[in-house]
Chain A
Amino acid sequence: MAAYRISPALQRVLHAVKHAAFRSRCCIIVSRAQYSTVYDHNEKTFDKILIANRGEIACRVMKTCKKMGIKTVAVHSDVDANAVHVKMADEAVCVGPAPTSKSYLNMDAIMNAIRQTGAQAVHPGYGFLSENKEFAKRLAAEGVSFIGPDTHAIQAMGDKIESKLIAKAAKVNTIPGFDGVVKDADEAVRIANEIGYPVMIKASAGGGGKGMRIAWNDEETREGFRFSSQEAASSFGDDRLLIEKFIDNPRHIEIQVLADKHGNALWLNERECSIQRRNQKVVEEAPSTFLDPETRRAMGEQAVSLAKAVNYSSAGTVEFLVDSRKNFYFLEMNTRLQVEHPITECITGLDLVQQMIRIAKGFPLQHTQAEIPINGWAIESRVYAEDPYKSFGLPSIGRLSQYQEPLNLHNVRVDSGIEEGSDISIYYDPMISKLVTYGATRAEALKKMEDALDNYVIRGVTHNIPLLREIIVHPRFISGDISTKFLPEVYPEGFKGHQLTATGRKELLATAASLFVAAQLRAQKFLGDLRVSNTQQERRSWELCVELEKGVHMLGVSRSGFMTFILKVEIDGDKLEVSSDWNLASPLLTVTLNGIHRTLQCLSRNAAGEISLQYLGTTFKLRVLSKLAAALSVHMPEKVPEDTSSILRSPMPGTVVAVSVKAGDTVAEGQEICVIEAMKMQNSMTAAKTAKVRSVHCKPGETVGEGDLLVELE
């Protein structure tokens, strides 16, 4: 561990000293981004690159292009005409309407855009056309460089079956029970039985977790086959499937490789990506707490040997499953820049996008394996527009009415492609940003992540910060005791938000009461108004009643000081001193509670005393009332909420793919009623009780909004 604690600045100096030609190089070190784009003016690079992607990754690629003096071309769908990546680019070309199959996957339109703008190379980002050999072929045919590996490597690694054969031949550990392409459900069941349960079913063409399902028995295999093939068809236009042995309780650790066109290849250490929900990564870190130097080297060397076996060039990622005994198995190779590449950049100081561009232009690698450091620790949280309280994250959409990245903090990097006012639409991935923090040690990086999440202002869409904030402080995560099952194991009942401790509760109550008092005091400040009472004494003490999670607390608040007043809050015999600048316009609320600094966010505050505070990531609803109002509120009639068990509403906006019932049918509890597709995820909606269907309010193909009535039961 100690060996890694070389400061990044020192490392950059060491790096520079090693290179004799340093003086002729231009070194741009951006303190925020934690990677350096060191490039040689003598290296002739591309004049213009088209980025065949959108969102944060398009912006990420353009950042490096701009530093390297390369002109950029954005492509966009018509709804993305105002997107950040379009504004950032030197030129932009519209390639079609919103659905990705008609725009970002529309090869003809993108080829036209390349011809029209004269771009010499294309960076595909991740997803979309990044691992599409057809696209790479067409580019090659027109003499346009593809910033990525060549067609052969894409094809070899893109095919899950072939890739395993190659891996085996290259002496890479592979997963036992590996088998072939699946034709129908019966064959799926047969194969699954041959391998032995549990098995994993997924699309051959797709990377990541999309279309991947785990089956423990024949019935689940059939269901998994149906879902995976449908999803595979809608996402990749290729419904081939793959079934293989599922390794229980594994870690997901991947090795970043970098290879040039001259047969050189490097491994840039690992990324630990075990924290996943529905097989999609949520929190990643580099390095992994789990690997010892020997395992790391073994994995790195196997990764490099695989890359060499396919004549790989460019950046790529070799994914492994690692079991509890540090046995590792090859999972797949992603022949593109990974979403989570920033953490590797943080610990190695390399700019991977720059390296990809250099390699595509034909330059050899600048580094040797011995020069690849692990400097400090980097953590990445994927901030999504989704509701973490619904199966760890169901997509939400909306307009970012307020948006502020925590870039005021040092050692924080935010890769995003949206800004205040942007729409998160149903058409694309609901990722808001990748929040990366860095520190000399893991503890430092984690502390920074806490601060960064607390300071991240996102309004207008539901987001997963509550979940992220809980993961990074969970004792199991902190001790490194994680696996891909972390979330379902830690939250078997589903994620319920932060559970307040006694101290936390007091801090929250004191903050809410203080905010209430600050607002009350300000409401009396009429400027230049001669008609405000002079005979009324300004109040110095309040008796308040604060409701929180159905508990009612009596608080005494007293005030000292005038402009930047300090409030003393008494709760159940405890005294807290609360100070702040009491800026009621700022979405962030920085308070000092008995000397401890906390950043909370005030999400809403109304005249009736209701205050929503984001505290330690989770939103808490409080109500602050004067003693009098609280005493009288016992007389207020209770409003009865609507009974929802007989009503099925859409949990998210999306498209109805299938409706399995009609009015008059009897459904059993848990039976599928309809399927909603949102952001390419198919979600099966089930009955909450056994009942007769009264009416069906949706039909396949229809678009529904969050909360729309789908089916009514009797």
Chain B
Amino acid sequence: MAMAALAAVRRCRVLLHGAVKSSFRGSPSQPRSYSAGRLSVQERIERKRQAALVGGGQKRIDAQHGRGKLTARERVALLLDPDSFVEYDAFVEHRCSDFGMEADHNKFPGDSVVTGQGRINGRLVYVFSQDFTVFGGSLSGAHAQKICKIMDQAMLVGAPVIGLNDSGGARIQEGVESLAGYADIFLRNVMASGVVPQISLIMGPCAGGAVYSPALTDFTFMVKDTSYLFITGPDVVKSVTNEDVTQEELGGAKTHTAVSGVAHKAFENDIDALLNLREFFNFLPLSNKDPSPVTECHDPSDRLVPGLDTLVPLESTKAYDMLDVIHSIVDERDFFEIMPNYAKNIVVGFARMNGRTVGIVGNQPKVASGCLDINSSVKGARFVRFCDAFNVPIITFVDVPGFLPGTAQEYGGIIRHGAKLLYAFAEATVPKITIITRKAYGGAYDVMSSKHLRGDVNYAWPSAEVAVMGAKGAVQIIFRGKNNQADAEAEYVEKFANPFPAAVRGFVDDIVVPSTTRRRICRDLEVLATKKQTNPWKKHANVPL
């Protein structure tokens, strides 16, 4: 054990040295002063290990750097705590013997991926980092096997898996073995889903079948300008549909974070992405058996937020920024927003309350009045299900005028997509705290973590309006054809445009002064920390996909 640790430390020293200087003593280009036959085992081990450290060689490393990308090992070194990386399978080589692949110069110890485990701020994580300098990071049987090994082990001990993707795709020389490798990984992605958090960081190309591994993981992040995700590249698109499109437009970070919703966030460059990933990792529990993490917090749990008392505008048609509410309530204004550029009418992300990680869901009145539509429902649902799977309490801020009407939405299936968010909230058994800041209209009221869907604590601010619909629409139906619409509207507002109808029925537990919201949530979370709730036994539920 001690030996192993020592060896790991030594390996890392070498790794850091290599990473910083980007140079290497045993580089293949240097003259060889020995004959292979007479090497001692010790020397052979050392040589192989050294060779593994330079991947595809200095030339390819330089090319990788020239593209504005770091090498697989440099990325691991940045992601993990110093000296914490323990590498597996540095000696694994591909087994292909066709097309001249069996030649010595086509064998690279470790093949096209670096795998192992290490620590992020002291907490265990399993990592694979695809090495673009070896066969363009293409996926061989051996490559897949290495990834599967660490995924299996991550499941055994209950620790997250982070994949750093930078791969040209399948190793064509290996044919079906490569495809089998993908499938092996897909299966493990599915098996690990909901057991340990899985995070993909796309740091280069990721095309064809390869895209489905990131798609199956919990979070997909991208690096701007240097990463792409698509099923088929621009050339195939041109030949099939005759569309002219660039790589960036087809599958760049902007496309996937703003248009398709495939990726959850994009970062400026490799370093920015990896440092942010460390920060993000601190929010996550290690597995579904671990509680939501609690870190040391300097922000008083009973801090009042006076600004909230005047935040919601007096006119109910005027917008405000839900992010202002979130930032001022959570610890230290620290909010890691997920999908900040996609379906902006709902805000989701991680924050901490008195040090404990929570998931925040909030309607965003600033965008499309905060209505629920197809994209926002799916965005919200996926986030809620992640939180529920990993014991992260959910705090929901509600200001929703309803579901977005229109043919585009109906034809697009808002009914079944909206059902996903409803399903996710209803199914969730983690602590659920809901604050109605203003509108909670119609079916959307029910959906947004209402009392009826087992909300543990549901609050209303004095500005809350819980009703089937807004005054104008309601009056047109109730008093159809009558003349005194204005009076009727006033009566409706008096009756329904306030928190009382919900409060007298116990559908909200209390009407709270907005400035005290943080204090209340912190106290409630403390109480709810021991919440235990189970759903009826089932093989698995049937979420309306």
Alpha-carbon separation in the docked complex, A54 to B40 (Å): 88
Which of A399, A526, A628, A635 makes the CB contact (< 8 A) with B123? A526
A586 near B298 with CB under 8 A, answer: yes
Chain A residues with CB below 8 A from B309, complex form: 82, 421
> Nearest Cβ in chain B — how far from A518, in angstroms?
10
Which residue in chain A gives the minimum CB-CB distance to B277? A607
- Nearest CB in chain B: distance from A514 CB, A: 15
Q: In the complex where A533-B123, A607-B279, A609-B275 touch, is A421 in contact with B306 (Cβ < 8 A)?
A: yes
**B328 CB-CB contact with A under 8 Å:** yes
Question: Are A522 and B295 in contact, with the CB atoms below 8 A?
Answer: yes
Task: Give the Cβ gap from A535 to chain B, nearest Cβ, in Å.
Answer: 7
Evaluate contact between A636 and B68: CB separation under 8 angstroms. Answer: yes
Residues of A within 8 A of B81 (CB): 536
Find out whether the CB atom of A632 lies under 8 angstroms from the CB atom of B286.
Answer: no
Chain B residue contacts of A586, Cβ below 8 A: 298
Q: Find out whether the CB atom of A529 lies under 8 angstroms from the CB atom of B310.
A: no
Q: Does the CB pair A400–B307 fall under 8 Å?
A: yes
Quick one: which of B78, B290, B331 contacts A632, CB cutoff 8 A?
A: B78
Q: Are A632 and B271 in contact (CB under 8 A)?
A: yes
| Complexed CA–CA distance, A535 and B123 (Å) | 11
Kindly list chain A residues whose C-beta atoms are within 8 Å of the C-beta of B427.
none
Q: Does A401 contact B (CB under 8 A)?
A: yes
Residue contacts A-B, CB under 8 angstroms, 30 given: A82-B309, A82-B314, A399-B324, A401-B324, A403-B307, A420-B305, A422-B307, A523-B121, A523-B278, A523-B295, A524-B121, A526-B122, A526-B294, A527-B295, A528-B294, A529-B123, A533-B84, A533-B119, A535-B5, A536-B81, A536-B84, A607-B276, A607-B279, A628-B16, A629-B271, A632-B20, A632-B78, A632-B271, A633-B271, A637-B226
**Chain A positions within 8 Å of B77 at CB level:** 628
A409 at the interface (CB under 8 A from B): no
Interface centre among B225, B296, B310, B311 (most CB of A within 10 A): B310
Is B19 at the interface (CB under 8 A from chain A)?
Answer: yes
Question: Complex formed: what's the CA distance from A636 to B68 in Å?
Answer: 5
- Give the residue among A419, A585, A609, A626 with the most B Cβ atoms within 10 A: A585
Given contacts A533-B84, A639-B225, 20 further A-B contacts (CB under 8 A): A81-B314, A82-B309, A400-B307, A419-B306, A525-B295, A529-B293, A531-B124, A533-B123, A606-B276, A628-B16, A628-B20, A628-B77, A629-B78, A635-B65, A635-B68, A635-B270, A636-B68, A636-B268, A636-B271, A639-B268
A401 and B307 contacting across the interface, CB-CB below 8 Å = yes
B310 and A82 form a contact (CB under 8 A)? yes
Residue of A nearest to B280 (CB): A607
Residue B297 interfacial (CB < 8 Å): yes
Chain B residues within 8 Å of A533, by CB: 84, 119, 122-124
Question: Is A583 at the interface (CB under 8 A from chain B)?
Answer: yes
Residues of A within 8 A of B16 (CB): 628
Chain A positions 620-638 with a Cβ under 8 Å from a chain B Cβ: 625-629, 631-633, 635-637
Size class of the A contact interface (CB-based, 8 Å): 35 or more
A635–B75 Cα gap in the complex (Å)? Answer: 12
Within 8 A of A (CB), among B142-169: none
Contact for A420 among B5, B74, B294, B306, CB less than 8 A: B306
A529 and B355 CA atoms in complex are apart in Å by 13
Which chain B residues border A535 with CB–CB below 8 Å?
5
List residues of B (6-38) whose CB comes within 8 Å of A's CBs: 16, 19-20
* B327, CB-defined interface residue at 8 Å: yes
Contacts of B58 in A (CB 8 A): none
Top 6 closest pairs, chain A to chain B, by CB: A421-B307, A637-B68, A607-B279, A585-B298, A585-B299, A525-B296
Is B510 engaged at the interface, CB distance under 8 Å to the other chain?
no
Residue A552, interface by CB 8 Å: no
- Asked if B94 is an interface residue, CB under 8 A from chain A, the answer is no
Write out, one digit per residue, whether chain A residues 581-595 have a CB within 8 A of any chain B CB (1) or not (0): 001111000000000
Q: Kindly state whether residue B516 has any CB partner on chain A within 8 Å.
A: no
Q: Is A532 an interface residue (CB 8 A)?
A: yes
CB-CB under 8 A from B272, the residues of chain A are: 608
B428 at the interface (CB under 8 A from A): no
The reply on B247 being an interface residue by CB < 8 A is: no
B320 (CB) vs chain A CBs: closest residue: A399
Query: Chain B residues near A525 (CB, 8 Å)?
Result: 295-296
- A403–B279 Cα distance when bound, in Å, is 27
Q: B298 to A583, Cβ gap below 8 A?
A: yes
Find residues 255-269 in chain B having any chain A CB closer than 8 Å to their own CB.
267-269
Closest chain A residue to B68, Cβ basis: A637
A97 to chain B, nearest CB (A): 12
